[in-house]
Amino acid sequence: MKTSELRKLSDEELKERERQLRRELFNLKFQKESGQLGDTSLIKKTKKDLARVLTILRERELTKEKNKD
């Protein structure tokens, strides 16, 4: 998912997306270890998507803190 698409989502939607990505990453790692995963690049893509979501959540958190001051 692109960053511009993620920025349009609400905080709750981003948190739900984070949960989904973490679950997906766990499943991909499990499949890799059991020899069922054919395309290992999916792990890298999922990690990057997760990092994007976490970055946007953190940016919003910092913005809220800055506005309080």
pLDDT score of 69? 72
Q: Is the pLDDT of residue 1 over 80?
A: no
Helices 11-33, 41-68: crossing angle, 10 deg rounding: 150
**Token duo for residue 12:** 């709750």
Q: Contact 22/30 with Cβ under 8 angstroms?
A: no
| Residue 59 pLDDT class (50, 70, 90 cuts) | very high
Output the CATH code of domain 3-68.
1.10.287.310
pLDDT tens-place string over residues 11-50? 999 999 999 999 999 999 999 999 999 999 999 999 999 9
pLDDT score of 50? 98
Q: Contact 25/47 with Cβ under 8 angstroms?
A: yes
Q: Contact 6/52 with Cβ under 8 angstroms?
A: yes
**Token duo for residue 47:** 């990690």
| Residue 68 pLDDT class (50, 70, 90 cuts) | confident
